A and B are shown apart, each in its own frame.
Chain A
Amino acid sequence: MRLRGSDPHTLAGAYAMDAVDEPDRVRFERHLAGCEPCRQEVRGLREATAALAAATAVRPPAALRDATLRAAGQTRQMPAAPAGRPGPNRRRRLVLGLTAGAAAVVVAAAVVVGVSASGMQGRLDQAQQHDHAVASVLSAPDATMLSGPVRTGGTATVVMSHRERALVFTAADLRGLPSAKRYELWLMGPSGDRPAGMVTASPHGGMAGPMVVSGLLAGDSVGLTVEPASGSHQPTAPPVLMISLG
Protein backbone atom coordinates (compact mmCIF):
# COMPACT_ATOMS: atom_id res chain seq x y z
CA MET A 1 0.00 0.00 0.00
CA ARG A 2 1.78 3.01 -1.27
CA LEU A 3 -0.38 5.51 0.56
CA ARG A 4 0.73 4.21 3.91
CA GLY A 5 4.17 5.55 3.15
CA SER A 6 2.98 9.06 2.33
CA ASP A 7 3.40 12.06 4.64
CA PRO A 8 2.02 10.78 7.94
CA HIS A 9 1.18 14.30 9.03
CA THR A 10 -1.92 14.52 6.83
CA LEU A 11 -3.44 11.78 8.97
CA ALA A 12 -3.83 14.19 11.93
CA GLY A 13 -7.47 14.97 11.10
CA ALA A 14 -8.56 11.37 10.59
CA TYR A 15 -6.64 10.37 13.71
CA ALA A 16 -8.28 13.07 15.85
CA MET A 17 -11.67 11.68 14.77
CA ASP A 18 -10.73 8.03 15.38
CA ALA A 19 -11.25 7.51 11.65
CA VAL A 20 -8.19 5.27 11.38
CA ASP A 21 -7.85 1.52 11.58
CA GLU A 22 -5.54 -0.04 14.12
CA PRO A 23 -2.34 -0.29 12.02
CA ASP A 24 -2.74 3.34 10.96
CA ARG A 25 -3.31 4.39 14.52
CA VAL A 26 -0.24 2.62 15.84
CA ARG A 27 1.89 4.03 13.04
CA PHE A 28 0.62 7.56 13.52
CA GLU A 29 1.16 7.40 17.26
CA ARG A 30 4.77 6.41 16.66
CA HIS A 31 5.05 9.47 14.47
CA LEU A 32 3.38 11.62 17.13
CA ALA A 33 5.80 10.49 19.81
CA GLY A 34 8.64 12.22 18.00
CA CYS A 35 6.78 15.23 16.60
CA GLU A 36 5.81 17.97 19.05
CA PRO A 37 4.10 20.19 16.43
CA CYS A 38 1.96 17.20 15.43
CA ARG A 39 0.96 16.57 19.05
CA GLN A 40 -0.01 20.22 19.31
CA GLU A 41 -2.07 20.02 16.16
CA VAL A 42 -3.86 16.87 17.32
CA ARG A 43 -4.53 18.60 20.64
CA GLY A 44 -6.23 21.47 18.84
CA LEU A 45 -8.20 19.20 16.53
CA ARG A 46 -9.38 17.15 19.51
CA GLU A 47 -10.84 20.33 20.98
CA ALA A 48 -12.79 20.78 17.76
CA THR A 49 -14.09 17.20 17.93
CA ALA A 50 -15.07 17.80 21.57
CA ALA A 51 -17.31 20.62 20.33
CA LEU A 52 -18.80 18.24 17.78
CA ALA A 53 -19.51 15.83 20.62
CA ALA A 54 -20.96 18.53 22.88
CA ALA A 55 -23.37 19.51 20.12
CA THR A 56 -25.07 16.12 20.38
CA ALA A 57 -25.76 16.27 24.13
CA VAL A 58 -29.04 14.74 25.24
CA ARG A 59 -30.77 14.38 28.58
CA PRO A 60 -29.67 11.05 30.02
CA PRO A 61 -32.24 8.86 31.79
CA ALA A 62 -32.18 8.97 35.58
CA ALA A 63 -31.71 5.20 35.75
CA LEU A 64 -28.35 5.57 34.00
CA ARG A 65 -27.19 7.93 36.73
CA ASP A 66 -28.14 5.57 39.54
CA ALA A 67 -26.65 2.54 37.84
CA THR A 68 -23.40 4.32 36.95
CA LEU A 69 -22.81 5.87 40.36
CA ARG A 70 -23.55 2.57 42.06
CA ALA A 71 -21.17 0.73 39.74
CA ALA A 72 -18.44 3.32 40.33
CA GLY A 73 -18.69 2.74 44.07
CA GLN A 74 -17.88 -0.90 43.43
CA THR A 75 -15.22 -0.41 40.78
CA ARG A 76 -11.56 -0.30 41.49
CA GLN A 77 -9.65 2.63 40.06
CA MET A 78 -6.43 2.38 38.15
CA PRO A 79 -3.62 2.47 38.64
CA ALA A 80 -4.49 0.48 41.74
CA ALA A 81 -1.92 0.26 44.50
CA PRO A 82 -1.32 -3.41 45.32
CA ALA A 83 -2.24 -4.45 48.89
CA GLY A 84 0.29 -3.44 51.51
CA ARG A 85 1.94 -0.86 49.28
CA PRO A 86 2.12 2.86 49.98
CA GLY A 87 -0.90 4.90 48.99
CA PRO A 88 -1.94 6.58 45.80
CA ASN A 89 0.33 9.61 46.03
CA ARG A 90 3.39 7.81 44.83
CA ARG A 91 1.42 6.18 42.05
CA ARG A 92 0.00 9.44 40.88
CA ARG A 93 3.39 11.01 40.69
CA LEU A 94 4.66 8.12 38.63
CA VAL A 95 1.75 8.32 36.28
CA LEU A 96 2.09 12.05 35.85
CA GLY A 97 5.79 11.54 35.18
CA LEU A 98 4.91 9.56 32.07
CA THR A 99 5.78 11.15 28.80
CA ALA A 100 2.77 11.96 26.71
CA GLY A 101 4.01 9.68 23.99
CA ALA A 102 4.45 6.67 26.21
CA ALA A 103 0.98 7.08 27.63
CA ALA A 104 -0.52 7.46 24.18
CA VAL A 105 1.06 4.31 22.87
CA VAL A 106 0.27 2.23 25.93
CA VAL A 107 -3.33 3.32 25.82
CA ALA A 108 -3.60 2.91 22.07
CA ALA A 109 -2.18 -0.58 22.24
CA ALA A 110 -4.85 -1.47 24.76
CA VAL A 111 -7.61 -0.64 22.38
CA VAL A 112 -8.53 -3.65 20.32
CA VAL A 113 -10.48 -2.78 17.25
CA GLY A 114 -12.49 -5.09 15.07
CA VAL A 115 -11.15 -5.92 11.66
CA SER A 116 -12.79 -4.04 8.84
CA ALA A 117 -13.19 -5.39 5.35
CA SER A 118 -9.64 -5.39 4.15
CA GLY A 119 -7.25 -7.96 2.79
CA MET A 120 -4.91 -7.81 5.72
CA GLN A 121 -6.58 -10.37 7.92
CA GLY A 122 -3.43 -12.35 8.74
CA ARG A 123 -1.37 -9.38 9.75
CA LEU A 124 -4.22 -7.92 11.70
CA ASP A 125 -4.83 -11.20 13.51
CA GLN A 126 -1.23 -11.17 14.58
CA ALA A 127 -1.44 -7.55 15.64
CA GLN A 128 -4.65 -8.32 17.49
CA GLN A 129 -3.12 -11.22 19.37
CA HIS A 130 -0.37 -8.90 20.48
CA ASP A 131 -2.94 -6.27 21.38
CA HIS A 132 -4.89 -8.83 23.36
CA ALA A 133 -1.79 -9.71 25.34
CA VAL A 134 -1.15 -6.03 25.97
CA ALA A 135 -4.79 -5.40 26.83
CA SER A 136 -4.98 -8.27 29.32
CA VAL A 137 -2.09 -6.75 31.29
CA LEU A 138 -3.41 -3.20 31.08
CA SER A 139 -6.91 -4.16 32.11
CA ALA A 140 -5.86 -6.43 34.98
CA PRO A 141 -7.39 -5.23 38.24
CA ASP A 142 -3.94 -4.98 39.82
CA ALA A 143 -2.31 -3.24 36.84
CA THR A 144 0.29 -0.77 38.06
CA MET A 145 2.21 1.76 36.04
CA LEU A 146 5.83 2.55 36.81
CA SER A 147 8.16 4.85 35.00
CA GLY A 148 11.83 5.67 35.16
CA PRO A 149 14.56 7.54 33.28
CA VAL A 150 17.03 5.60 31.16
CA ARG A 151 20.54 6.61 32.19
CA THR A 152 21.71 7.16 28.63
CA GLY A 153 18.59 9.12 27.67
CA GLY A 154 14.88 8.51 27.31
CA THR A 155 12.13 7.31 29.57
CA ALA A 156 10.88 3.78 30.14
CA THR A 157 7.36 2.93 31.21
CA VAL A 158 6.17 -0.39 32.56
CA VAL A 159 2.63 -1.52 33.25
CA MET A 160 2.72 -4.71 35.25
CA SER A 161 0.26 -7.12 36.71
CA HIS A 162 1.33 -9.70 39.27
CA ARG A 163 -1.92 -11.48 38.66
CA GLU A 164 -1.16 -11.88 34.97
CA ARG A 165 2.52 -12.44 35.83
CA ALA A 166 3.28 -10.16 32.93
CA LEU A 167 4.21 -6.63 32.05
CA VAL A 168 4.08 -4.27 29.11
CA PHE A 169 7.22 -2.28 28.40
CA THR A 170 7.53 0.88 26.33
CA ALA A 171 10.29 3.44 26.08
CA ALA A 172 10.35 6.91 24.62
CA ASP A 173 13.30 8.77 23.14
CA LEU A 174 15.94 6.08 23.71
CA ARG A 175 19.33 7.18 22.43
CA GLY A 176 20.25 5.64 19.10
CA LEU A 177 22.96 2.95 19.20
CA PRO A 178 25.70 1.98 16.73
CA SER A 179 24.51 -0.85 14.47
CA ALA A 180 26.57 -3.46 16.34
CA LYS A 181 24.65 -2.74 19.57
CA ARG A 182 21.07 -3.07 20.70
CA TYR A 183 19.11 -2.60 23.89
CA GLU A 184 18.11 -5.80 25.65
CA LEU A 185 15.39 -6.08 28.24
CA TRP A 186 15.75 -8.33 31.32
CA LEU A 187 13.81 -9.64 34.22
CA MET A 188 16.27 -9.52 37.09
CA GLY A 189 15.54 -11.05 40.46
CA PRO A 190 16.26 -13.69 43.08
CA SER A 191 15.63 -16.33 40.42
CA GLY A 192 18.37 -14.93 38.22
CA ASP A 193 18.50 -12.66 35.19
CA ARG A 194 16.31 -13.75 32.29
CA PRO A 195 16.44 -12.16 28.84
CA ALA A 196 13.07 -10.60 27.97
CA GLY A 197 13.63 -9.47 24.41
CA MET A 198 15.57 -7.05 22.26
CA VAL A 199 14.35 -3.47 22.19
CA THR A 200 14.64 -1.60 18.92
CA ALA A 201 15.13 2.12 19.38
CA SER A 202 13.54 4.18 16.64
CA PRO A 203 16.23 6.15 14.79
CA HIS A 204 14.13 9.30 15.21
CA GLY A 205 13.97 9.09 18.97
CA GLY A 206 10.35 7.92 18.98
CA MET A 207 8.68 5.08 20.75
CA ALA A 208 9.97 1.57 21.39
CA GLY A 209 7.47 -1.17 22.16
CA PRO A 210 4.95 -1.98 23.46
CA MET A 211 6.58 -5.32 24.34
CA VAL A 212 4.80 -7.92 26.41
CA VAL A 213 6.98 -9.83 28.88
CA SER A 214 5.50 -12.81 30.69
CA GLY A 215 6.83 -15.10 33.40
CA LEU A 216 7.11 -12.40 36.03
CA LEU A 217 8.29 -13.74 39.43
CA ALA A 218 8.15 -12.25 42.91
CA GLY A 219 11.01 -9.87 43.60
CA ASP A 220 11.77 -9.18 39.94
CA SER A 221 13.01 -5.90 38.57
CA VAL A 222 13.02 -4.82 34.95
CA GLY A 223 16.44 -3.99 33.61
CA LEU A 224 17.71 -2.62 30.34
CA THR A 225 21.30 -3.09 29.11
CA VAL A 226 23.21 -2.30 25.94
CA GLU A 227 24.31 -5.59 24.34
CA PRO A 228 25.82 -6.87 21.10
CA ALA A 229 23.15 -6.68 18.37
CA SER A 230 22.66 -10.46 18.41
CA GLY A 231 21.63 -10.35 22.07
CA SER A 232 23.17 -11.94 25.18
CA HIS A 233 22.12 -14.77 27.48
CA GLN A 234 23.31 -12.83 30.49
CA PRO A 235 23.79 -9.07 30.84
CA THR A 236 27.34 -8.07 29.85
CA ALA A 237 27.07 -4.43 30.94
CA PRO A 238 25.62 -2.55 33.90
CA PRO A 239 21.93 -1.72 33.37
CA VAL A 240 21.05 1.71 32.02
CA LEU A 241 17.63 1.27 33.62
CA MET A 242 16.32 -0.64 36.63
CA ILE A 243 12.70 -0.55 37.75
CA SER A 244 11.79 -2.54 40.84
CA LEU A 245 8.47 -4.28 40.38
CA GLY A 246 7.95 -4.79 44.12
Chain B
Amino acid sequence: MTEGQPGPAHGRDTHADELGVLLTRVARGDLAAYEAVYDRTAGQVLGIVLAVLRDPAQSEEVAQEVLLDVWRSASRFDADRGSAGAWLATLAHRRAVDRVRSEQKAAEREMRVASSTVAYDEVTEAVEARLDRERVRRCLSSLTELQRESVTLAYYGGYTYREVADLLGVAVGTVKTRMRDGLIRLRDCLGVDA
Protein backbone atom coordinates (compact mmCIF):
# COMPACT_ATOMS: atom_id res chain seq x y z
CA MET B 1 0.00 0.00 0.00
CA THR B 2 1.33 3.40 -0.83
CA GLU B 3 1.89 5.88 1.89
CA GLY B 4 -1.05 7.81 3.20
CA GLN B 5 -3.76 5.94 1.33
CA PRO B 6 -6.82 4.75 3.15
CA GLY B 7 -6.59 1.02 3.86
CA PRO B 8 -8.98 -1.16 1.89
CA ALA B 9 -11.88 -2.69 3.76
CA HIS B 10 -11.42 -6.00 1.95
CA GLY B 11 -8.61 -8.47 2.54
CA ARG B 12 -8.82 -7.52 6.19
CA ASP B 13 -7.65 -10.81 7.61
CA THR B 14 -4.08 -10.74 6.33
CA HIS B 15 -3.92 -7.04 7.03
CA ALA B 16 -5.24 -7.57 10.51
CA ASP B 17 -2.58 -10.17 11.26
CA GLU B 18 0.20 -8.04 9.83
CA LEU B 19 -1.02 -5.11 11.84
CA GLY B 20 -1.05 -7.21 15.01
CA VAL B 21 2.52 -8.34 14.39
CA LEU B 22 3.57 -4.75 13.72
CA LEU B 23 1.96 -3.65 16.97
CA THR B 24 3.95 -6.16 18.99
CA ARG B 25 7.09 -4.68 17.42
CA VAL B 26 5.89 -1.17 18.23
CA ALA B 27 5.41 -2.28 21.83
CA ARG B 28 9.16 -2.99 21.92
CA GLY B 29 9.93 0.56 20.81
CA ASP B 30 10.45 -0.19 17.12
CA LEU B 31 9.98 3.14 15.34
CA ALA B 32 10.16 1.63 11.85
CA ALA B 33 7.25 -0.65 12.73
CA TYR B 34 5.40 2.37 14.06
CA GLU B 35 5.88 4.14 10.77
CA ALA B 36 4.35 1.15 8.99
CA VAL B 37 1.44 1.13 11.44
CA TYR B 38 0.95 4.83 10.84
CA ASP B 39 0.82 4.37 7.08
CA ARG B 40 -1.73 1.60 7.35
CA THR B 41 -4.02 3.24 9.84
CA ALA B 42 -3.73 7.05 9.84
CA GLY B 43 -6.36 7.46 7.12
CA GLN B 44 -8.85 5.37 9.03
CA VAL B 45 -8.10 7.02 12.36
CA LEU B 46 -8.53 10.49 10.89
CA GLY B 47 -11.64 9.35 9.02
CA ILE B 48 -13.53 8.14 12.06
CA VAL B 49 -12.46 11.11 14.20
CA LEU B 50 -13.59 13.44 11.44
CA ALA B 51 -16.91 11.63 11.13
CA VAL B 52 -17.60 12.23 14.82
CA LEU B 53 -16.05 15.67 15.34
CA ARG B 54 -16.61 17.19 11.84
CA ASP B 55 -14.12 19.98 12.48
CA PRO B 56 -10.99 19.22 10.38
CA ALA B 57 -8.44 21.10 12.50
CA GLN B 58 -9.68 19.61 15.74
CA SER B 59 -9.93 16.18 14.12
CA GLU B 60 -6.30 16.25 13.05
CA GLU B 61 -5.30 17.15 16.56
CA VAL B 62 -7.34 14.30 18.04
CA ALA B 63 -6.15 11.87 15.34
CA GLN B 64 -2.59 12.69 16.28
CA GLU B 65 -3.37 12.04 19.94
CA VAL B 66 -4.84 8.68 19.00
CA LEU B 67 -1.88 7.74 16.82
CA LEU B 68 0.52 8.72 19.58
CA ASP B 69 -1.56 6.66 21.95
CA VAL B 70 -0.93 3.70 19.65
CA TRP B 71 2.79 4.28 20.11
CA ARG B 72 2.50 4.69 23.87
CA SER B 73 0.13 1.84 24.60
CA ALA B 74 0.92 -0.74 21.90
CA SER B 75 1.80 -3.18 24.67
CA ARG B 76 -1.84 -3.12 25.76
CA PHE B 77 -2.96 -4.64 22.49
CA ASP B 78 -3.98 -8.23 23.10
CA ALA B 79 -4.76 -10.31 20.01
CA ASP B 80 -6.89 -12.65 22.12
CA ARG B 81 -9.34 -9.85 22.71
CA GLY B 82 -9.93 -8.89 19.09
CA SER B 83 -8.20 -7.81 15.92
CA ALA B 84 -5.64 -5.02 15.75
CA GLY B 85 -8.02 -3.11 13.50
CA ALA B 86 -10.79 -3.27 16.10
CA TRP B 87 -8.38 -2.18 18.84
CA LEU B 88 -7.35 0.82 16.80
CA ALA B 89 -10.86 1.75 15.74
CA THR B 90 -11.95 1.56 19.38
CA LEU B 91 -9.09 3.82 20.52
CA ALA B 92 -9.90 6.36 17.82
CA HIS B 93 -13.65 6.31 18.21
CA ARG B 94 -13.54 6.48 21.99
CA ARG B 95 -11.14 9.41 21.93
CA ALA B 96 -13.33 11.29 19.45
CA VAL B 97 -16.46 10.62 21.48
CA ASP B 98 -14.74 11.65 24.70
CA ARG B 99 -13.76 14.91 23.07
CA VAL B 100 -17.28 15.59 21.84
CA ARG B 101 -18.82 14.85 25.21
CA SER B 102 -16.30 16.73 27.32
CA GLU B 103 -16.38 19.83 25.17
CA GLN B 104 -20.07 20.16 24.85
CA LYS B 105 -21.63 22.12 27.61
CA ALA B 106 -24.71 20.47 28.98
CA ALA B 107 -26.96 23.21 27.61
CA GLU B 108 -25.54 22.97 24.12
CA ARG B 109 -25.99 19.28 24.18
CA GLU B 110 -29.58 19.56 25.30
CA MET B 111 -30.19 21.86 22.39
CA ARG B 112 -28.69 19.36 20.02
CA VAL B 113 -30.85 16.65 21.44
CA ALA B 114 -33.91 18.86 21.02
CA SER B 115 -33.45 19.29 17.27
CA SER B 116 -33.96 15.69 16.34
CA THR B 117 -34.52 15.47 12.59
CA VAL B 118 -31.79 17.98 11.89
CA ALA B 119 -29.29 15.92 13.87
CA TYR B 120 -29.98 12.70 12.02
CA ASP B 121 -29.85 14.30 8.59
CA GLU B 122 -26.69 16.14 9.53
CA VAL B 123 -24.96 13.00 10.71
CA THR B 124 -25.97 10.85 7.77
CA GLU B 125 -25.08 13.54 5.28
CA ALA B 126 -21.65 14.05 6.75
CA VAL B 127 -21.07 10.33 6.86
CA GLU B 128 -22.49 9.38 3.50
CA ALA B 129 -20.06 11.75 1.84
CA ARG B 130 -17.26 9.50 3.05
CA LEU B 131 -19.04 6.23 3.37
CA ASP B 132 -17.77 4.99 0.06
CA ARG B 133 -17.11 1.47 1.05
CA GLU B 134 -19.73 -0.40 -0.88
CA ARG B 135 -19.84 -3.39 1.40
CA VAL B 136 -20.47 -1.41 4.54
CA ARG B 137 -23.11 0.66 2.80
CA ARG B 138 -24.84 -2.45 1.51
CA CYS B 139 -24.81 -4.05 4.96
CA LEU B 140 -26.06 -0.88 6.63
CA SER B 141 -28.95 -0.78 4.20
CA SER B 142 -29.90 -4.33 5.15
CA LEU B 143 -30.78 -3.13 8.67
CA THR B 144 -34.26 -2.03 9.64
CA GLU B 145 -34.72 1.72 9.62
CA LEU B 146 -34.67 2.01 13.39
CA GLN B 147 -31.59 -0.21 13.66
CA ARG B 148 -29.78 1.82 11.04
CA GLU B 149 -30.71 5.14 12.61
CA SER B 150 -29.69 3.95 16.06
CA VAL B 151 -26.34 2.60 14.89
CA THR B 152 -25.57 5.64 12.73
CA LEU B 153 -26.40 8.20 15.40
CA ALA B 154 -24.47 6.29 18.05
CA TYR B 155 -21.36 5.43 16.08
CA TYR B 156 -20.95 8.32 13.68
CA GLY B 157 -22.85 10.90 15.71
CA GLY B 158 -21.17 10.05 19.02
CA TYR B 159 -24.46 10.07 20.90
CA THR B 160 -25.21 7.88 23.90
CA TYR B 161 -28.09 5.44 23.61
CA ARG B 162 -30.14 7.64 25.94
CA GLU B 163 -29.62 10.61 23.64
CA VAL B 164 -30.43 8.50 20.62
CA ALA B 165 -33.68 7.48 22.32
CA ASP B 166 -34.50 11.18 22.84
CA LEU B 167 -33.56 12.04 19.28
CA LEU B 168 -35.72 9.33 17.78
CA GLY B 169 -38.51 9.62 20.31
CA VAL B 170 -38.25 5.94 21.12
CA ALA B 171 -38.03 4.15 24.48
CA VAL B 172 -34.52 3.72 25.86
CA GLY B 173 -34.91 -0.04 26.09
CA THR B 174 -35.96 -0.24 22.46
CA VAL B 175 -32.92 1.72 21.32
CA LYS B 176 -30.56 -0.51 23.31
CA THR B 177 -32.07 -3.58 21.69
CA ARG B 178 -32.01 -2.07 18.20
CA MET B 179 -28.35 -1.11 18.59
CA ARG B 180 -27.42 -4.61 19.59
CA ASP B 181 -29.57 -6.32 16.95
CA GLY B 182 -28.35 -3.87 14.33
CA LEU B 183 -24.70 -4.47 15.11
CA ILE B 184 -25.20 -8.23 15.19
CA ARG B 185 -26.81 -8.08 11.76
CA LEU B 186 -24.02 -5.85 10.52
CA ARG B 187 -21.39 -8.20 11.90
CA ASP B 188 -23.01 -11.19 10.20
CA CYS B 189 -23.46 -9.31 6.93
CA LEU B 190 -19.83 -8.18 6.95
CA GLY B 191 -18.59 -11.62 7.96
CA VAL B 192 -16.26 -10.14 10.56
CA ASP B 193 -17.12 -12.19 13.63
CA ALA B 194 -14.13 -12.43 15.93
Contacts and interface: CB of A to CB of B under 8 A. Distances in A.
Nearest to A21: B160
Interface in B25-76: 27-29, 31, 34-35, 38-39, 42-48, 50-51, 60, 63-64, 67-68, 71-76
A136 to B, nearest CB: 16
Contacts, number: 260
B14 to A, nearest CB: 15
Contact of A10 (B88, B89, B173, B193): B173
Given A17-B183, A68-B67, A50 B73 contact: no
Contacts of A92: 27-28, 75
Nearest to B137: A55
Contact of A51 (B63, B73, B136, B175): B136
B94 A43 contact: no
B118 interface: no
B115 interface: no
A13 B38 contact: no
B184 A45 contact: yes
A40 B34 CA distance: 29
B64 A67 contact: yes
Instruction: Give the size range of A's interface with the partner.
Output: 35 or more
B160 A43 contact: no
Interface string A104-117: 00010001111111
Nearest to A87: B28
A92 B74 CA distance: 11
Given A44-B194, A50-B89, A51-B9, A77 B64 contact: no
B136 A78 contact: no
Contact of B106 (A40, A57, A116): A116
A14 B83 contact: no
Given A47-B193, A77-B74, A116-B109, A56 B64 contact: no
Interface in B145-194: 151, 154-156, 158-164, 172-173, 175-184, 186-187, 190, 192-194
Given A60-B43, A77-B29, A45 B187 contact: yes
A112 B103 CA distance: 12
Given A13-B183, A53-B89, A65-B4, 4 more contacts: A21-B160, A58-B46, A60-B42, A116-B160
B86 A49 contact: yes
A211 B133 CA distance: 44
Interface in A55-72: 55-62, 64-65, 67-69, 71-72
B21 interface: no
A78 B81 CA distance: 19
A11 interface: yes
Given A55-B132, A72-B34, A50 B4 contact: no
A44 B94 CA distance: 17
A62 B107 CA distance: 37
B187 A53 contact: no
A245 B109 CA distance: 44
Contact of A68 (B38, B109, B151): B38
